[in-house]
Amino acid sequence: MTGVTEDAGRIRRADEDAIAEAAGILRAGGLVAFPTETVYGLGADATDDAAVAGIFAAKARPSFNPLIVHVADANAAKALVAFTPDAEALAAAFWPGALTLVLPRRADCRISLLCSAGLDSLGVRAPAHPVAQRLLAACGRPLAAPSANRSGRISPTTAAHVAESLGARVPLILDGGPCAVGLESTVLDLTGPRPALLRPGGITEAEIHDVVGPLARVEVSATEQPRAPGQLDSHYAPSRPLRLEATTVGPKEALVAFGPEVPAGAAATVNLSPSGDLTEAAARLFAALHELDRPELEAIAVMPIPEEGLGRAINDRLRRAAAPRRQL
């Protein structure tokens, strides 16, 4: 191995001292994994081209994917992108929180062009997690941060997931406990005449509808460059095949259950929410897939999840995890 120190992949509880160390690493152009309320992010100084390139290298990520830039609040975002009335209303309603707004870059935008991946837009988000906010304040830079997993794999909702997926590729992982939302942010494109949903996520379409009215439909063609890589068919994939809408389960299968009535006979079962609560299910989804992704099992069977509210984002991730694997 090259350039790997014995400190590599070190997990530190996110106290003031650890946050100060993390801020120092980020200001020096290094990478730090940190908690947000959605999933853990792999952060770099978004104004530093080399640091941002380091994210792509660590994730082995296809370079056409743009990165979300994290900021403290709407004012900080306005220094980077041109806000619209819809952006004002959405930021007022949902920030800090699980909503990413894609907006035109300002002419004087200091953010690395790598974060925009060749587009003239930028995805910005103010995270709600106190550790993310303290880190932003301590380093004083906007932070580019995709989910802290290898490209195409399940997003991490604990510090241990990050260590499993990226290990020595990240020098410091700030541990802020399990993520409360557990699904990535909703990505909304505000560069067109109507807001368009690029990725369902922690804020539901109905909640967004209440603020800005109906959303434009995004048609994805197989040949076109995806507007959001969450649109690639196979994404968020565990290594075991997934079987959706399962109402029975085999002895060599793991079961992701939902609700009070669970079929018996699985090799292992995780119930996302015995009471059938979609918010609780979202928070547990990725941890369940991580836990049940065991080589000795033939498949992961998943019970039906209602296609409503956060269930849409959950089913979106499950369908991608179940899709035929495509070389990224």
**AA identity, residue 216:** A
Using DSSP's 3-state secondary structure scheme, residue 14 falls into coil
Dist CA 286 CA 320 (whole Å): 13
Stretch of 36-44, 168-176, 203-211, 298-306 lying at the interface with ligand TXA (CB under 6 A)? 36-44
Q: Which of residues 4 and 220 has its CB atom nearest to ligand TXA in the complex?
A: 220
SS3 content of the chain, % helix, strand, coil (to 5): 30, 20, 50
By CB under 6 A, residue 36 contacts ligand TXA: yes
Q: Which of residues 198 and 302 has its CB atom nearest to ligand TXA in the complex?
A: 198
The one-character DSSP state at 237 is B
Stretch of 95-103, 141-149, 186-194, 251-259 lying at the interface with Mg ion (CB under 5 A)? 141-149
Among the listed residues 38, 47, 121, 147, the single contact to Mg ion using CB under 5 A? 147
Could you tell me the smallest distance in angstroms from the CB atom of residue 300 to ligand TXA?
A: 21
Burial class (CB in 10 A: 0-12, 13-18, 19+), 222: exposed
Stretch of 143-151, 262-270, 272-280, 302-310 lying at the interface with ligand TXA (CB under 6 A)? 143-151
Among the listed residues 11, 72, 119, 218, the single contact to ligand TXA using CB under 6 A? 119
Binding to ligand TXA in span 82-111, by CB under 6 A: 100, 102
Contact 41, 54 (CB under 8 A): no
The one-character DSSP state at 323 is S
Could you tell me the smallest distance in angstroms from the CB atom of residue 66 to ligand TXA?
A: 4
Dist CA 13 CA 56 (whole Å): 25
Tokens representing 32 are: 């730090």
Among the listed residues 141, 199, 284, 317, the single contact to ligand TXA using CB under 6 A? 199
Site of interaction with Mg ion (CB under 5 A): 147
